[in-house]
Structure 1
Amino acid sequence: MLKAERHQFIITKLADEQRVSTITLAQDLSVSEDSIRRDLNKLHEKGLLEKVYGGAIPLSEKHKSVFDIEISNEERKKVIGNKALSLLHDGQVIIMSGGTTNLVFSKLIPPSLTATIYTYSLPIAMQLSRYPNIDLIFIGGKMQKNAMVTIGMDVLQVLAKIKADICFMGVSSIDSKQGLTEMGYEVSIVKKAMIESAEKVITMFTSDKLNTRKPHVVCDLTRLDTIITDLSPDDASLEEYRKSGIIIL
């Protein structure tokens, strides 16, 4: 049987039975299990089925949550998150911005922490909703769908009324002369409001964000209290930031 015929047989059988196994397909088609695995891999790459352990299922049965976000440089972000844990203590009022660094950080927060946390990030809010001792306030507004954060006047009005102890801010770009910058104007405005609402501002980012710039300014370095990266605090690339008086973790 030709490869194309095998593929059609697999698709037809999957439609009929809603699940196929590698062993059964090999028997039905009189080929090796390795051949079937290669067939399933190819069909998976084409988006025609979902390969699973021992066989395949239709794509419609893949129940992936919209909150199963792909996180780049996750190990480096865990290093950052673990450093940031030293700044948490019970009773704090906290603001958290969006971004995958903060999302990784939120997963590392001890379940016993007692705090009030404001966030306009839907994925972070969903993560923090699992913590029994955290009073979680999700700041509603217009949803920016690509980043799953809220923006607009509704967000700004809530932030204006908050007096937070600490703000954990994810960073798109940071430069020793330009300060924090963002690609989106509306996000930059929200982050400015976060800074005004917090006693201390903690910026967290992977080192690839260092010395990069985006179009919209959030703040200069004088507004930042602490920088947390995946680098050693005494790394030479952080020298200009140390000179500005920022604490480096």
Structure 2
Amino acid sequence: MLKAERHKFIMTKLLEEQKVVTTDLALALDLSEDTIRRDLNELDDKKLLEKVYGGAIQFIEKSVDVFNINISAEEEKKKIVKKALSLLHDGQVIIMSGGSTNLVFAKLIPSDLKATIYTYSLPIAMQLSQHPNIDLIFIGGKMQKKAMVTIGMDVMQVLSKIKADICFLGASSISIKQGLTEIGYEVSIVKKAMIESSDRVVSMFSSNKLNTKMPHSVCDLSQLDTIVTELDPEDLSLEEYRKAGVFVL
């Protein structure tokens, strides 16, 4: 297959799924992973996609103002998070991961809610800093600049000491067999620690992440209490998740 044909295949796949995984592309095209990495590097240089660990995601033009975050499909994400608002009540200790869906959630938390929220996401911390009744605790550590989240042992140590009522967990991918998976290893480890520190785990994500997988495991479905998408809870595409014992909101 010619390079131009490979690039067209990769970009078509990326348009359909919002992300591509190097190992999956190598298998689909019957090529070495090194060849696929070179293709992804070339497409990244042309700003046609953004190369990440294990694959690539769609390229988003960065704003000059780092706090003016561009949220794709924001209206769809509002539908998701409005369902999850029913899970909030005064006095909770909450942990929030990063991600655009959780950022939308942070924007819509009612102004009269009184709770304590821990987060390692800088954009979410900045958003919650404007909330009049939230006790906000930003978990410091090494900054992963692209995602604007902190990672590393400092984050893990803080999380190990928290006893949270509920954790709102973003998701890169989810499937019946693999559970939640992540693009980056370090973020997957932080999310594991969030789950361990929480009595209840809620994952919010767009339905295009259903039945997909990334290289690094976060947790099995059995460790999730609730999943929230924009779909009706009775939608057929969620049936296997309901059968697996996860509550679908």
Provide the TM-score with structure 2 as the length reference.
0.74
In 2, Cα distance between the equivalents of 1:81 and 1:67? 21
Structure 2 letter corresponding to 1:163: K
Alpha-carbon distance between aligned partners in 2 of 1:222 and 1:73, rounded to the nearest angstrom: 29
1:115-134 → structure 2 map (5 Å cutoff): 115-134=115-134
Residues of 2 paired with 1:68 and 1:230: CA distance?
A: 24
The match for 1:89 is 89
How is 1:225-236 mapped onto 2 (pairs within 5 angstroms)? 225-236=225-236
Between the aligned partners of 2:247 and 2:130, the Cα distance in structure 1 is 31
Q: CA deviation at 1:153?
A: 0.2
Q: How does 1:187-198 map to 2 (within 5 A)?
A: 187-198=187-198
Aligned match of 2:213? 213
Aligned residues: 187
Q: Residue 246 of structure 1 aligns with which residue?
A: 246
Distance between the aligned counterparts of 1:64 and 1:83, measured in 2? 32
Deviation at 1:65, TM superposition (A): 2.6
Task: Tell me which residue corresponds to 2:175.
Answer: 175
Distance 2:105 2:64 in 1: 22
TM-score (norm 1): 0.74
Q: What 5-or-longer segments of structure 1 have no aligned partner? A: 1-62
RMSD: 0.9
Distance 2:134 2:174 in 1: 30
Residue of structure 1 equivalent to 2:104:
104
Give the letter for the 2:243 counterpart.
Answer: K
What SS is found at the alignment partner of 2:89?
coil
What are the ranges of 5 or more consecutive residues in structure 2 without an aligned counterpart? 1-62
Equivalent AA in structure 2 for residue 113 of structure 1: L
Residue 73 of structure 1 deviates from its aligned partner by 1.1
Counterpart secondary structure, 1:198 = coil
Shift of residue 64 of structure 1?
A: 5.1
> 2:76 & 2:240 partners in 1: Cα distance?
22
- Percent identity at matched positions? 75
Secondary structure of 1:213's match? coil
Task: Report the Cα offset of residue 144 of structure 1.
Answer: 0.3
Cα distance between partner residues in 1 of 2:212 and 2:64: 34
Partner of 1:113: 113
Q: Distance in 2 between matches of 1:160 and 1:134?
A: 21
Q: Which runs of 4+ in 1 moved over 4 A?
A: none
Give SS of 1:218's match.
Answer: strand
Aligned to 2:136: 136
- Tell me the residue number matched to 1:52: none
Residue of structure 1 in register with 2:147 after alignment: 147
Query: Which whole-Å deviations, capped at 9, do the CAs of 1:70-105 have from their partners, x for residues lacking one?
Result: 111111100011001000000000000000000001
Partner SS for 1:199:
coil
Within 1, Cα distance between the matches of 2:219 and 2:203? 12
What amino acid is the match of 1:234? E
Alpha-carbon distance, 1:185 to partner: 0.3
Note if 1:71 corresponds to 2:75.
Answer: no
Cα shift at 1:67: 1.2
Provide the rounded CA distance (Å) in 1 between the counterparts of 2:132 and 2:102.
19
Counterpart AA for 1:175: S
Q: Are residues 1:80 and 2:83 paired?
A: no
**Counterpart of 1:19?**
none
Distance of 2:193 and 2:230 partners within structure 1? 26
SS of residue in 2 equivalent to 1:167: strand
Partner SS state of residue 214, structure 1: coil
